[in-house]
């Protein structure tokens, strides 16, 4: 599980939403929500932001230690 997938799952549970309810409210497919929560590596950022927006969050750049 990635940090992002764990965050989405925790927020969904915090607000008492099922995966189906989250997908409907965010305007994305149920499969997308499942893939997101399972930490799939290749997801559309615009759709990730649609889901995050429900919780007042958005994707953004962060410094990494790999350089």
pLDDT of residue 67: 64
Helix, coil or strand: residue 45: helix
What integer is the mean pLDDT of 29-44?
97
Q: Does the pLDDT at position 6 exceed 90? A: yes
Q: Averaged over 34-61, what is the pLDDT? A: 97
- State mean pLDDT over 26-42: 97
pLDDT of residue 2: 87
Mean pLDDT of the chain: 95
User: CATH second-level architecture of 3-53?
Assistant: Orthogonal Bundle (1.10)
- What is the reported pLDDT for 5? 97
Contact predicate 5/52, CB 8 Å: no
């Amino acid at each position: 599980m990635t940090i992002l997938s764990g965050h989405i799952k925790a927020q969904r549970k915090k607000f008492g939403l099922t995966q189906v309810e989250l997908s409907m409210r965010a305007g994305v497919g149920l499969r997308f929500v499942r893939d997101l929560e399972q930490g799939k590596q290749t997801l559309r950022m615009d759709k990730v932001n649609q889901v995050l927006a429900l919780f007042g969050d958005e994707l953004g750049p962060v410094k990494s230690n790999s350089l």
